[in-house]
Amino acid sequence: MAISPFPKQGQGFRAEVKISENMDLILMVWYGLGYAWGIYDVKVREYVKRESAEDFDDGKAKAEATVRMWYRYTGRKEPFPELNWQETGSGEAGPIAQKTG
């Protein structure tokens, strides 16, 4: 399913990254009442950051930049892992329902 230029409620993208043993994150960009992005901490089971975005690409860039900063802050020496953004569909209970439901 390709994201249309006129996205439906709930459409977006998600990627997962593990920063440390205590920080396993899901990065999300979605369309709700506008474009938004968020970072969800799987261990704590809550969003650690959420903001609006101009579009999907802007949201991906902001989420990735934030997580890269956290990655450096933790002192990791390994290269930042490649993010595999996967498309999410519409009609789900919410952007996090696919992972934790």
In order, the DSSP letters of 15-57 are: EEEEEETTEEEEEEEEESSSEEEEEEETTTTEEEEEEE-SSHH
For residue 28 the two structure tokens come to 């999300």
Q: How confident is the model at residue 9 (pLDDT cuts 50, 70, 90)?
A: confident
Q: Structurally, how many domains does the chain consist of?
A: 1
Question: What number of other Cβ atoms are within 10 A of residue 63's Cβ?
Answer: 28
Q: Is residue 99 part of a domain?
A: no
Domain that holds residue 9: 1-76
Residues 6+ apart with CB under 8 A from 79: none
Q: Is residue 90 part of a domain?
A: no
Higher-scoring residue by pLDDT: 94, 41: 41
**If residue 100 lies in a helix (H) or strand (E), which one and from where to where?**
helix 97-100
Q: Is residue 31 part of a domain?
A: yes
**Is residue 75's pLDDT more than 70?**
yes
pTM: 0.78
Q: Is residue 88 part of a domain?
A: no
**Residue of 30, 44, 41 whose CA lies nearest to 93:** 30
CA-CA distances (angstroms) from residue 20 to 24, 29, 66, 82?
7, 22, 15, 15
Q: Is residue 70 part of a domain?
A: yes
Share of the chain above pLDDT 90, in %: 51
**Is residue 101's pLDDT more than 60?**
no
